[in-house]
Structure formats: C-alpha cells, structure tokens
Amino acid sequence: MKTDIEIAQEATLLDIRKVAKKIGATEDDLELYGKHMAKISDECIKRLESEKDGKLVLVTAINPTPAGEGKTTVTLGLNDALNRIGKNSAVAMREPSLGPCFGIKGGAAGGGYAQAVPMEKLNLHFTGDFHAITSANNLLCAMLDNHLLQGNELRIDPKRVVIKRCLDMNDRALRNITVGLGKRLDGVVREDHFCITVATEVMAILCLAEDINDLTERLGKIIVAYNYDNEPVTAADLKAVGAMSVLLKDAIRPNLIQSLENNPVFVHGGPFANIAHGCNSVRATKVALKAADYVITEAGFGADLGAEKFLDIKCRMAGLKPDAVVLVATARALKYNGGVAKADLSNENVDALNKGIVNLGKHIENLKKYNVPVVVTINKFVSDTDAEVEAIKSFVEGTGCRFAVSEVWEKGGAGGEALAAQVLEAIEEGSPNFKFLYEDSLSLKEKIETVSMEIYGADGVDYSPEANNALKKIEEMGFGNVPVCMAKTQYSLSDDQKLLGRPTGYKINIREVYVSAGAGFVVAIAGAIMTMPGLPKSPAAERIYIDENGETVGLF
C-alpha cells in the first residue's frame, strides 16, 4: 500500500470555499490561506450561534505504543463514514506539533485513506497558529527579563520566575539554560527553562477561550513569577497583555480544511495530553456543533489522559456534554501492553494480547464512570489476524460495550460504516446522566488522588516536599476550586512507562505542582515526564527530504 504522504499528495482536493458551503459558510466568512485552507471569521461564528447544537462524539484510545495507534485516523474515518451514509458530520481536532513530526510518532493528520489534507501543510507550518503562540509566550518572557534589567519595579525574585520560554520542537538541550550572560546590558543572569509550545499556558488559554475578550482576560492572569514577598506577578502586571493579544488575534480563529473524502475538518489548537489538557479549542468545537449534526472530536493519547481531561476540564469549563465515546484499541497496543517488544508487534500473539487486554478493560471501566455510552473499535492493521480480532471482540462484548472493527486506514469512509452504525445507536441511547469524576468543592489533593486512584488504579499518591508546599500556597491564593491537569507518561496507566497492562500496588508520585491561572487549572507533574521532550536516537527527521520533483518524502 502507498505511504500516507503519497496518498495525501495524490488526493483530489476541493476548493475550500466549496467545503465551507457544507457548514453554511460563504466566501465572505473565510480568510483564505491558499486554495485548501481557511480561517473562519468572527462574523460567521456569531451568525451560527443561533443554530441548534449537533451531537458530540469523543474519540479516545487505550495506552499506545510509542508509534501511536491511529486515534486520529479513526476520528477522520468515522466522520467520512457518517457522511457516506447521509449524515451531516464534521471533525474538530488538534493541530500537529513539529516535535513528534520529526521525532518518533510522526504527524497528526490521520493515516492511510483516512486523513486530513493538505497533509504536508497541516503537519508543518499550517496557518501559523503555533508560531503566534510561541511568539506571544516568548514576548512575555522577554518583557519579564527586560523588567528585571530596567530596575525591577515589581520586585520580582529572579529565582522564582515560573514562566518558561518555548519552542515547537523536541530540544532537550534547552530544558535548563542560563540567560543574561555577558555585559550588564545583556540582562540579569538567572536560570531559565524551555518547554515545548504545546505545553505552554498560552496554548491552553487559546484552546479554552470563548473569544478574543476572554482570551485577553485569561492572558492577564498568567502568573510569570513571584516577588520577594512571595506574591504572584502576572502578565497584566508586566503590561504585556495587549501586545500578546495582538499576536494571537488571528490564531484564535478556527481553521477549516477537509478530509480525503472532502468533508469538513476543523483543526485548531494542539495541547499535548501527557503534559497539557490534550483537546482542540473550545471555539472550534462549538462552531462545529453549530455547523453540523454530528461532530467527531478527539483527545490525545490514552483515555487516562486525553479523555479524562476532555471530560473533567474541557467539558466542565465549556459546558459541553458528549453523546457517545469511541474507545480505540489495536491488537498491536494490546500486545505491547502484554509485554511484546515493539519490533515484534506485527507477529500474531494471542496469549500476549489476552495478557495486555486488561488495559482495555480498565479504560472501559473508567469511561463508564462518566455515564456515557462507550463504543469500542479496533483500528485494524494489515498484520492483525482473525484470531486476534476475535479475542478482542469477545472481551469487549463481555463488558457490555458495543464493538466494531474499523478499516478506515485501508478503505477510508467505507471501512468505517460498521463503526458509524454503532455510534449512531449509542447516541440514540444517550447520556442523560453525564457526570464529572470529581466536584469543584474537593481540595486539590482530593482531586489529584481521585484521578490517581479512580482512573490510574493507584493505591495512593506520594508528594514531594516542593509539591506539598506548592499545593498549600495555591489554595491560599484562592485556586483550590479549579480542576487538576495531570502530567504523566502516556505509555502506562501509572507514572512509570515500564508498568504496562493494568498495574497495581503502586503510588503516583507528584514531584511538582503549579497553577495555570489564566487557563483555569492546576498542573500536577507525575513521575519523570518532561515538558520539553527530546529526540530519539534515530529521529524521523533523518528520513524526511525533498525529492528531484520538489515533493516532500518521508513525512508521516
């Protein structure tokens, strides 16, 4: 079969103005980025507000292998399948980060015959949203360091700066740096840090903001440092908010592209789910709900990360309620959770699959706690055997969940019609009793412990002295009633990526806690997870190039 990029490059794309008609948008509603990409205008968004909301379907997954297992592929294929059977459906998904594109995982445009296109532009610079977010974040950092040099009127303690510079690239050498070296006018010498752009609070704010006014208000609340009196210093205190908003005024508008089958795909925002809240923008989701009868959205990595944050953070803040959840599993990931090495995942191994299937079972149990109907689907790989698929089907049906095989990677929307039928039945069943995992009134520790024990299956939580002190300070500052955003490895339910399957008899280790006051949640960092990833020994970047015809090769 052809590679993902070959399929994408050979696709016949519609002019984006024709795709926009499917969501009730005219040419005047679009800010065009060439023939196949556009931003949706504020005027269009306001006009759609009076429309009835469509049905919302969340696509999530079990804990993946390092290569990822096709959650976005299923999201896009399900959307094409619904359109094939006569439903008015659209996708609302995240923008890819350059970090994974050039690292291990690859891009985030789907795969095979279930992709969002133009694939190359989406996976690379797209409409410039990530560059705008990076610039706004780093402007704030520059203004902070300038303030330190120019007299430090706010009495900022240079040893208590908490804002990090950012870059949309995996670059471990920038995790810990020293700035201000050189002459006096080169700045105040202090330790500094970088995180990847998708882990910044600016990214989270853009994805949770309702409009430009809400965005501006949230930016002003970003805590950048603490002063010598242990009081927070904000972006508003540094008078940086206006300029940051200007940098983001275009980025806050949702982007519209299309699937391989020319159906509408909203792509906007891109926080990672292992170190941020892992969902596309509230704005894009709400626009899609007004523009289509069915909206298929995704949340990053496993359901222990992306789905939990979608349900407990995004839905809580935005007033959303999913009508169904699709849980993606693969024979490969189940075998990986059963102890099979990555190099051997294409070989049949029903015993290992049955050992690792407890991971799927735990995710099913977790999603049922939110009182939403769950459909389990197998993203079928060509190496999957009938025996492996039958073992998974038997297990899922034993849990009382709906089940369907997805063959969208190989067959596009036609390979997702069985899944679409199950999803429509689940929506008819409805989720009238949807509930959050925890209430706002719980303490921060109680929220962290609820997620750790209920979702991850831990016996409890251990806190570093620094985390304990931070939690006490954050609650004293008045942020005790906000949700928690857990940062941990995506490869395990635990905070140790080596504990696969359904680990028991362990505790979650919280080493650091900080408040994202503008985003409106508290981040708890567990285990060894880093907010600036590194490249692998043999990064994907080594195999990406432009051929003699000017075409990109190797991007996936």
pTM beyond 0.85: yes
SS3 at position 61: strand
Specify the residue for token string 């015993």: 351
Model confidence band, residue 430 (pLDDT cutoffs 50, 70, 90):
confident
> In percent, how much of the chain has pLDDT > 90?
92
Residue 463 scores a pLDDT above 90 = yes
pLDDT tens digits for range 482-533:
999 999 999 999 999 999 999 999 999 999 999 999 999 999 999 999 999 9
pLDDT tens digits for range 38-86:
999 999 999 999 999 999 999 999 998 886 778 999 999 999 999 999 9
Lowest mean pLDDT, pick from 111-115, 243-247, 339-343, 499-503: 339-343
SS3 at position 280: coil
Residue 278 scores a pLDDT above 80 = yes
What crossing angle do the helices spanning 350-368 and 386-398 adopt, rounded to 10°?
30
What tokens were used for 109? 């445009």
pLDDT tens digits for range 310-337:
999 999 999 999 999 999 999 999 999 9
> How crowded is residue 24: how many other Cβ atoms within 10 Å of its Cβ?
14
Model confidence band, residue 431 (pLDDT cutoffs 50, 70, 90):
low
pLDDT at residue 66 in the model: 81
pLDDT tens digits for range 196-211:
999 999 999 999 999 9
Rounded to an integer, the average pLDDT of 213-231 is 98
Burial (CB < 10 A; 0-12, 13-18, 19+), residue 548, is exposed
SS3 at position 370: coil
Model confidence band, residue 342 (pLDDT cutoffs 50, 70, 90):
confident
Residue 429 scores a pLDDT above 90 = no
Residue 417 scores a pLDDT above 80 = yes
Length of the chain: 556
What tokens were used for 477? 């500052």
pLDDT at residue 456 in the model: 98
The catalytic residue positions are: 71, 73, 94, 105, 273, 301, 381, 409
